[in-house]
Structure 1
Amino acid sequence: MAGSTAETINPPQMQDHQPGRETEMHPKPEYMPKFPGNGRLKDKVAIITGGDSGIGRACAVLFAREGAEVALVYLEETEDATITAEAVKAEGKEALLLRGDVGKKAFCETVVRQVVETFGKLDVLVNNAAEQHMETALEEISEEQMRRTFETNFFGYMFMAQAALPHLKEGSAIVNTTSITAYRGSPSLMDYASTKGAIVAFTRSLSGSLAKKGIRVNAVAPGPIWTPLIPASFPADKVARFGANQPLGRPGQPNEVATSHLFLASDESSYMTGQVLHPNGGEIIGG
């Protein structure tokens, strides 16, 4: 029943490492596109950070189905990244795997350079990499954790955008993944929610800066989505009930979010910039 805090949605499970591994999840997240491609990203080149699993994997496969070559940026989850690359290739497109830490400016510059050297251009940047750590009290959040969360979730977005901008042109798009927590907060994810709020402000600010150049900047704010970040962040009992309180009564799947990224990356959203889409299972945000 929707809204029940006692309902078990998925089997209880935990992972003792971040980033999480999609290969260890049960059931597996749904990432394959639901519909045939229609050339929405034909001849485009896209970078997707956090592209190995979760929402990033779903975006990668969907973008490939719609005609894009994709570069998958990931921290260390090589098995997940390889599975994603094979799924991209099954759609008839190339997948460039780039392993490293987006929290480091030099690595972000290397990513863009290698993408341009490989594919000859860059059209779309999807900033999606993230980490989160559950802490119920502010005083329990260490300086190290706070810095790490901001480096991955926010500095990485800015570093990637800085590196990408010299190669983007009129018609290009940047899509940032923020979160429902940017709008309603999260008592157990204070540093994470703060980074997601910063991403909203960054999206709106950068969109205004780039509007005259014809480069659009938008964001997607998912609600509870079944990705490796969930069992890697929360205790098993909370994972089992994850998403049950949303109006639709369940967590979303990555392939239910990637369509928002596709819309914002493609010319179908040509009159949108500085905006945020909310695939969150029916929770009213900012209304």
Structure 2
Amino acid sequence: MNREALLRVNLQARYSNKPVLHDIRFELQRGEVLGLVGTSGAGKSTLVLSLLGLLPWRNGRVTGEVIFEGQNLLTLPEREMRKLRGRHVALIPQSPMTALNSAISLQRHFEEAWRAHDKSGRPALMNRLQVLLAEVQLPSDVPFLSRRPSQISVGQAQRILIALALLHRPTLIIADEPTSALDAVTQSQIIELLKGLNHRYGATLLYISHDLVSVLQLSDRIAVLDEGRIVESLPVAEFGQARHPAARSLISALVVPPDVLLSFRDDKEGKLPLAGLAKRQ
């Protein structure tokens, strides 16, 4: 690519003597949404841990380069990575009800995340929450923030995770299967929310999923991960012409072709529902 990439990846990863990721190469431009799609076991979770410098905590090893804003994250000591995670690179994890701490209030989640990277105090945090929670379509009143995760819906919990990721206005957001635990209607709402954040603020997003429908609805480019390798990478408008068997298998699981889905992508009058657009395997 002509412009200097925000993120440039060239890595391999293994657990003990078992290679898991092989020669993973891709770039991500500022303001771009890259959809990384693959079936279960393709290596998506290992890639997330590798990018965030967390794979050693799972007894894994990463080699190569993860160049973010000009520096190789794989060479940074853990102390420096802690400064970067959450502030400059944020994660939206899957399974919101397990990602959140059931023992503390929603407000406490935000307070702890705020103190990790910002020392300006509670008034600044509350001002930020007024704007942030409105963006993710959640109330910011005391009764709501006093609730614990078990007292809100799964969809609201996923919006809390998105708000936590956006708290410090990170340069890069990694969304790891953020709709996998949601019903079809809430999935559509979360995809529209992420799309709006990208359009309004130029948020750079690496969107990782096994769900090709949501990837098609959100991404500028799509990369297919299969057995630890990126086997196809195309602009979203060209994905219907993908040739690799792994990509063709994902496409064949759709009820309607990719170009039909893309024709509804920017339809402001009526959204195409995501439910029922992938065949049961």
Per the normalisation by structure 2, the TM-score is 0.35
Rg (Cα) greater in structure: 2
Point out the structure with the larger strand share: 2
Per the normalisation by structure 1, the TM-score is 0.34
